[in-house]
Amino acid sequence: MAAKKAEQALVDQWRDLLALHARTQCELDRALHRHGLCASDFEVLDVLAGGSARSGSALRVQEISERVHLSQSALSRLIARLEKDGLVERCMCPQDRRGVVVALTPRGRALHGEVLPMQRAVLTRMLTN
């Protein structure tokens, strides 16, 4: 009986975590929508902003995919959309011509800076008790 209660507590904890994620994702999407972004768009811009500041260059698509929770095909479509919107640019990797690197454009860096405080405010509101 105790094992069954422990198992149910674990399942309840998992479902609470999923619900918190879903609510937070919806709040982020709602806040970012007025800037033409969704939460996944912002995550890619944020990873690129952090990676570019750290390395001084673009990030390989593989490096981005390790940091965001999207399938490779979904990430490729998202990057293509961000590129079409003038927020990122793709080019061949200088070290490995088979690879592709992605970097923020000046417009992408400006938009990231503009919405960063809003995104962090939503995270603070949703994730702090």
**Pairing of the two strands 88-92 and 59-60:** unpaired
So what's the pLDDT on residue 97? 72
Give Cα separations from 76 to 29, 62, 69, 79, 105 (angstroms): 20, 10, 13, 5, 17
Average of pLDDT values for 104-113? 96
Angle separating helix axes 39-55 and 2-33, nearest 10 degrees:
80
State whether residue 1 is helix, strand or coil. coil
Q: Which two tokens stand for residue 35?
A: 């800037």
For residue 89, pLDDT over 80 is answered with yes
On the question of pLDDT at 124 being above 80, the answer is yes
31, 119 contact by CB (below 8 A): yes
What integer is the mean pLDDT of 83-110?
Answer: 90
Q: What pLDDT, on a 0 to 100 scale, did the predictor assign at position 92?
A: 84
Number of Cβ within 10 Å of residue 47's Cβ equals: 19
For 51-85, the pLDDT digits (tens) are 644 445 689 888 999 999 899 899 999 999 999 99
Q: What is the pLDDT of residues 4-61, one digit of tens each?
A: 899 999 999 999 999 999 999 999 999 999 999 999 999 999 999 986 444 456 898 8
